């Protein structure tokens, strides 16, 4: 009986230490929203991102990867973000038959991927 109670207490303590040792993950989250637009005349893909952060120098969107028809055509790598809502533009030619897949990656935890067809 004594060994079982001690084992339970040990498991609870180790679990608590593990959870408390990971506070940054509790505050981290993937981007909340990703909106994509395409300007045919300028041949520019614009990716508008919503990613709330209390400290954008430490918790930010670190990468935006743009795939066109399954192939990576652009990749932006960043070390901070300009605010909670911001946009990046990528020069890339497209037709109405093309399909884009845009992956937005948080530097701490999570990502969001959206698909987009310019339909031009």
Per-residue pLDDT reduced to its tens digit, 106-118: 998 889 999 999 9
Q: CA angle 42-37-79, nearest 5°?
A: 90
Q: Is residue 52 part of a domain?
A: yes
Domain hosting 103: range is 28-116
Q: Is residue 98 part of a domain?
A: yes
Among 35, 45, 36, which Cα is nearest to 92's?
Answer: 45
Q: Is residue 44 part of a domain?
A: yes
Q: How many domains, in total, are found in the chain? A: 1
Q: Which regions of 16-78 does DSSP assign to beta strands (E)?
A: 33-39, 44-50, 61-68, 71-77
Q: How confident is the model over 29-63, as pLDDT tens digits?
A: 788 999 999 999 999 999 999 999 888 888 999 99
The residue-averaged pLDDT of 86-96 equals 95
Give the three-class secondary structure for 95: coil
Q: Is residue 2 part of a domain?
A: no
Are 56 and 83 a contacting pair, CB within 8 Å? Answer: yes
Q: Is residue 75 part of a domain?
A: yes
Question: pTM score, two decimals?
Answer: 0.75
Q: Is residue 9 part of a domain?
A: no
- Around Cβ 29, how many Cβ atoms within 10 Å? 16
Read off the CATH number of the domain in which 39 is found. Answer: 2.60.40.730
Q: Is residue 34 part of a domain?
A: yes
C-alpha to C-alpha distance for 61 and 87, rounded to whole angstroms:
11
Q: Is residue 76 part of a domain?
A: yes
């Amino acid at each position: 009986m004594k060994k079982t109670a001690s084992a339970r207490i040990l498991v609870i303590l180790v679990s608590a230490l593990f959870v408390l040792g990971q506070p940054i993950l509790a505050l981290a989250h993937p981007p909340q929203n990703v909106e994509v637009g395409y300007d045919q005349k300028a041949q520019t893909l614009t990716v508008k991102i919503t990613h709330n952060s209390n400290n954008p120098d430490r918790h930010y969107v670190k990468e935006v990867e743009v795939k066109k028809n399954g192939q990576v055509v652009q990749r932006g790598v960043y070390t901070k973000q300009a605010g909670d809502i911001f946009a990046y533009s990528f020069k890339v030619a497209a037709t109405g038959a093309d399909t884009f897949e845009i992956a937005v990656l948080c530097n701490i935890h999570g990502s969001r991927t959206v698909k987009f067809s310019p339909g031009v």
